[in-house]
Structure 1
Amino acid sequence: MSHALPRRAFAGLALLPLFGCAAPPAQAQRGALLALPDFADLAERVLPAVVSISVTSEAREIPPELRGTPFERYFRDRQRGRGPQVMGAGSGFVIDPSGLLVTNNHVIGNASRVQVTFQNGQEYPARLVGMDELTDLALLRIEAQGALPALSWGSSAALRVGNWVLAAGNPFGLGGSITSGIVSARGREIGAGPFDDFIQTDAPINPGNSGGPLFNMAGEVIGINTAIYSPSGASAGIGFAVPSDLARGVIDQLRGTGRVERGWLGVSVQDAEAEPGALRRGAAPAGGVLVAGVVRGSPASRAGLRQGDQVVAINGDAVDTSRALVRGIAAVPPGQTVRLSILRNGRPMELPVQVGRRPVEPQG
């Protein structure tokens, strides 16, 4: 099911007439007919590779008095296989004719059984290859006789606000559906995690669309539909998709090793502002990122990074926000050395740091 962001009630909205900017009715109608594309050929081409996913999980309610105690694990072990079955539904798409499929991590969850259904009615059991909670992505494999229809990745970086996009999936469990809209915004942060970089679209996305593809007009996957913002639980014209440029690297790692490894410094950081007069002293004009704390024994600690240092670049590439620093280091393979450009007490320095492996629950 799609994750919905916290619901908000909106009041006081009214439809107001616009004066002085409307074209004559006949001219407006002709313009609309010319402007709206026909999506039929595109839908026919991409839908065979879009699947509906049904999952079965066991619901095991932990008594409140046992949560957080040593008896919780014992209770879970005793109840495994005895709980009631809970059904869920989502969407996915084939990225390799051999049977590899992409969906959302939250669609799969702790499912004990995953079933994939194609547009032509063919059904296959699926097994999990790997999942990544931080980007909410998962990779599945099915065993099919013969090559499957597959989709290709497109570049989300090439998207512009206002571009047409199509969303495909399994809304409300109805099966293969396709909706159209535009890119409403890029780089959205919605509080889902440290790697938020969502594409916002007004193409209708509803519960069950999670894990389905967002297409450009070339039929390339430029996003994975993941979340909605809705006062009612249904589409309100504000949906979010993981951009393909982020998803592709994650899926490649899951395909190769079944897990995702990210670089880690071991620091807590916050955005910094440029000091008054920094330009006159020859310091970097960007505010950079302020090191608020360093984890003992971490890569940053071993390299000599200190609390109060101001990181302004990674390997010469400027970093202006703490989020950019976290993403930049996360993209570096563990074990590789990067060059941090820092300001220490206003003086520029270069600091080599051998990047570590990001823990499951990093301390900083």
Structure 2
Amino acid sequence: MPPIPSRAPMASRRFILAGLAASAALPLISCASSVPAQAQRGLLPDFADLAERVMPAVVNIAVLSEQTTTQVPPELRGTPFERYFRERRGRQQVQGAGSGFIIDPAGYIVTNNHVVGNASRVVVSLQDGTELPARVVGTDELTDLALLRVEAKTSLPSVPWGSSAGTRVGQWVLACGNPFGLGGTVTSGIVSARGREIGAGPFDDFIQTDAAINPGNSGGPLFNAAGEVIGINTAIFSPTNASAGIGFATPSDLAKGVIEQLRRDGRVERGWLGIAVQDFGNEPGGRRGAQVQAVERGSPGARAGLRQGDILVALNGERMEGSRTLIRNVAGTPPGQTVRLTLIRDGRQQEIAVQVGRRPPSAS
């Protein structure tokens, strides 16, 4: 599992794709001794009903190859499955394992892009042991998401999307997946933080949780107490490649639009202005926005007249808090649509209309 580069040097920190990534103990809650035992028990939720309801829609994903190898996937080393895969050398080999969840009874499954990669064959295992070959409908490297499709004889159990925007720090969550190739596993925790940037890409906006996530959990769902998917488990912070109580999930509000595009078109098209920007303003109560550092020649931004030094403060009348707000909102705008940028130039505020272009594959 390749480490995710950090934006700032951190000698002892490693952000690891959970692609082969969840498991561990329930969070420990400390209560004052003066609180009655019955009240203490009331503080701990019982996840049994929730797990029973959602687990049928959580799947294990195996990435297969016909090449001969005796190398055991890292997420299976030291598990009861290690000997099994060694005995199968020379035949079809499991090159990786991960998790996913069914969002449509017709067989559409969400997972991480780094789980399926360039797989020659993908096999999905349901909770009842049924194995189904899967087709990769589409992938998106920038958000590390992928959509699979399986053909089943009957309607499959599915789980609904929830809104990550309404998620609060301290809220209970349940992570489900396939840690270390062991199969359906649930772990619980809370939302530790929101809007985390870990250097994974321009759309970093992760939910941080202390629900245990380990190799094999990547692509698995993070549920709220209502059984709705509010995140896709993607990466962990760990010096040991195992859960250290800091996991990251792609928020559902970001994932839903990407998955809808993959289902409809098999690919994701993003808006693009062709400008390099950085955050502007960090004083409380002061003006905030994104300052233009460079404008690519012939880009939509150049044609609209944007200049180096312009301070962009609003998009379609909505104030922006920084460069990431601009990048995400423009990326979510269909190419060809015109947006209205409010900017400060030479101390004066003005508006410029820009027709959004199509983001090139090489754009950062």
TM norm structure 1? 0.84
Which whole-Å CA distance do the structure 2 matches of 1:192 and 1:23 have between them? 40
Which whole-Å CA distance do the structure 2 matches of 1:9 and 1:259 have between them? 33
Which whole-Å CA distance do the structure 2 matches of 1:29 and 1:359 have between them? 60
Task: Kindly tell me the number of residue pairs found equivalent between the two proteins.
Answer: 323
Which whole-Å CA distance do the structure 2 matches of 1:58 and 1:309 have between them? 55
Secondary structure in 1 matching 2:352: strand
Structure 1 unaligned runs (5+)?
11-20, 61-83, 280-284
Confirm or deny: 8 A CA contact 1:134 1:195 kept in the other structure: yes
Confirm or deny: 8 A CA contact 1:59 1:86 kept in the other structure: no
Confirm or deny: 8 A CA contact 1:5 1:227 kept in the other structure: no
Task: Give the counterpart letter for 2:336 in structure 1.
Answer: G
1:23 aligns with 2:27: no
1:144 aligns with 2:152: yes
Q: Please identify, of 314-323 and 97-106, the stretch whose mean Cα deviation from structure 2 is larger.
A: 314-323
Structure 2 counterpart of 1:282: none
Residues 96-175 of structure 1: pairs in structure 2 closer than 5 A: 96-175=104-183
Which whole-Å CA distance do the structure 1 matches of 2:292 and 2:61 have between them? 44
Structure 2 counterpart of 1:95: 103
Structure 2 counterpart of 1:289: 290
Which whole-Å CA distance do the structure 2 matches of 1:305 and 1:42 have between them? 51
Task: Give the counterpart letter for 2:251 in structure 1.
Answer: P
Confirm or deny: 8 A CA contact 1:263 1:329 kept in the other structure: yes
Structure 1 counterpart of 2:55: 47
Which whole-Å CA distance do the structure 2 matches of 1:3 and 1:153 have between them? 29
Confirm or deny: 8 A CA contact 1:52 1:90 kept in the other structure: yes
- Residues 19-44 of structure 1 show CA distances to partners (whole Å, capped at 9, x for unaligned) of xx97326x364332111111111111
Structure 1 counterpart of 2:82: none
Confirm or deny: 8 A CA contact 1:225 1:242 kept in the other structure: yes
Structure 2 counterpart of 1:266: 274
Confirm or deny: 8 A CA contact 1:155 1:244 kept in the other structure: yes
- Residues 264-295 of structure 1 show CA distances to partners (whole Å, capped at 9, x for unaligned) of 000011112389xxx9xxxxx52321111100
Secondary structure in 1 matching 2:255: helix
Confirm or deny: 8 A CA contact 1:171 1:208 kept in the other structure: yes
Structure 2 counterpart of 1:315: 316
Closer, same or farther: CA 325–4 of 1 in aligned 2, 3 Å:
closer
Instruction: Indicate the structure whose relative CO is greater, using CA pairs within 8 Å and at least 6 residues apart.
Output: 2
Residues 136-285 of structure 1: pairs in structure 2 closer than 5 A: 136-273=144-281, 285=286
Closer, same or farther: CA 28–358 of 1 in aligned 2, 3 Å:
farther
Which whole-Å CA distance do the structure 2 matches of 1:58 and 1:123 have between them? 18
Which whole-Å CA distance do the structure 2 matches of 1:191 and 1:32 have between them? 39
Which whole-Å CA distance do the structure 1 matches of 2:323 and 2:253 have between them? 20
Confirm or deny: 8 A CA contact 1:170 1:209 kept in the other structure: yes
Structure 1 counterpart of 2:40: 32
Percent sequence identity is 66
Query: What do you get for the CA RMSD once the two structures are aligned?
Result: 2.5
Closer, same or farther: CA 218–110 of 1 in aligned 2, 3 Å:
same
TM superposition shift of 1:8: 2.8
TM superposition shift of 1:5: 7.3
Which whole-Å CA distance do the structure 2 matches of 1:184 and 1:301 have between them? 41
Which whole-Å CA distance do the structure 2 matches of 1:125 and 1:150 have between them? 18
Confirm or deny: 8 A CA contact 1:95 1:150 kept in the other structure: yes
Confirm or deny: 8 A CA contact 1:4 1:233 kept in the other structure: no
Which whole-Å CA distance do the structure 2 matches of 1:183 and 1:225 have between them? 12
Which whole-Å CA distance do the structure 1 matches of 2:31 and 2:158 have between them? 44
Structure 2 unaligned runs (5+)?
15-29, 69-91
Closer, same or farther: CA 38–86 of 1 in aligned 2, 3 Å:
closer
Which whole-Å CA distance do the structure 2 matches of 1:274 and 1:3 have between them? 30
Closer, same or farther: CA 22–51 of 1 in aligned 2, 3 Å:
closer
Instruction: Give the structure with higher Rg (CA).
Output: 1
Structure 2 counterpart of 1:327: 328
Task: Give the counterpart letter for 1:119 in structure 2.
Answer: Q
Structure 2 counterpart of 1:69: none
TM superposition shift of 1:328: 1.3
Secondary structure in 2 matching 1:323: helix
- Residues 60-110 of structure 1 show CA distances to partners (whole Å, capped at 9, x for unaligned) of 9xxxxxxxxxxxxxxxxxxxxxxx956100000100000100000000011
TM norm structure 2? 0.84
TM superposition shift of 1:9: 7.2
